[in-house]
Amino acid sequence: MDSRLVQDSQMAVKKAADIFDKCLRFDKAKELMSQGLYPYFRVIESAQEPEIIINGRRMIMIGSNNYLGLTNHPKVKEAAIEAIKKYGTGCAGSRFLNGTLDIHVKLEEKLARFMRKEAALVFSTGFQVNLGVISALVGKDDIVIIDKMDHASIIDGCRLSFGDIRKFRHNDMNDLERVLKEYEAKDKLIVVDGVFSMEGDIASLPEIITLARKYGARVMVDDAHGIGVLGQSGRGTAEHFGLEDDVDLIMGTYSKSLASIGGFIAGSADVIHYIKHCARPLIFSASPPPASVASVSAALDIIENEPERREALWRNTKKMFNGFNELGFEVGPSQTPIIPIVVGENHNAFLMAMMLQEEGIFANVAVSPAVPNGKALIRTSYMATHTEEQLDKVLEAFKKVGKKLGFIN
């Protein structure tokens, strides 16, 4: 073969695109690791309690969504153990075919009663609920309208649908009305978080419902961080506002107050029946394992029978909100046990998280693009089971680190 042809062929091979090139170029995380500022995938060696163990060291946990402290509750653990004894560790199939156990059906009935809806449907993860429900309901001629700060699972559910996606500015009702008015003639679904997971603020649900009625839209609320926390009975954002009959669909997850993993959607019987037969993430995923289902059922009983847990959660929340404000931190717009501390640039958040860890405090980091540029934050969240002494230690650590970094005087 002509040497020039061989050379040209070799050059072509060298220049050929490789889909893994992006992996080789990705160095952001490695840079943080080299600087000792990497706050992700930290390995925990204990249960999600107010105190945890990392590398054999005991730390106070203020980065968990275990709001009611139920993940290590004896009744919840016992329910999981008994379910494994009876049903084994998994279902070996989807709900659609061989994976529906009697405890799945009983939990759906229980969730429907608790949420004051006609029916409910359980999924294997909360993320899958939003993927499945939104993509099943929103067709190619439909509009799905979302808050710009909605959870990633809502955004991905919209992408999986064949409908048009329209966003409105965060909790801006004038902007929502602008979008609704533009698409008045279309079938529309508004999807919002009940409690926004980074900022901790609550959706303007009364105004959203009013606008939805005015322009003929349906409303779905992702209440992952509201159930167990808001409302007199812990039924979430809709109960908090007295709008349970007005919200068409309520989505919830188990990985927060319900002490397990999985999720559900609750609404009218006809709509749930439709989703049950059209949601691909439900039909083509293995069903929730028995231990998870039994854990959720036990957690629901505790939520209904022990309202003092919710009262303790709110006492702790008020203490920390007041404490951070008195120290002079910039506290975000939170109205819930999620209390963000705004620290500015991304680097500030990474540095502060690691300094807090040195002080024995586990807190989470949220940086752009998860939050707006220049609004990086330390995301803190609280449990009903935190003690006064633990929370005082948290405030003392924030005071020490905040002064070192110049965030407070």
- What are the catalytic residues? 197, 225, 256
Residues forming a β-bridge with 193: 222
Q: Are 397 and 361 in contact (CB under 8 A)?
A: yes
Q: Identify whether the C-beta of residue 191 lies closer than 8 Å to the C-beta of residue 145.
A: yes
Structure tokens at 402: 């905040």
Cα within 13 Å of Cα(287), Cβ side: 24
User: What type of residue sits at position 319?
Assistant: K
CA-nearest of 86, 39, 80 to 261 is 80
Alpha helices in 279-327, H assignment, sequence order: 280-283, 290-305, 307-327
Selection from 404, 392, 390 nearest residue 351 by Cα: 404
Q: Helices 388-405 and 346-358: crossing angle, nearest 10°?
A: 130
Nearest to 128 by CA among 347, 344, 281: 281
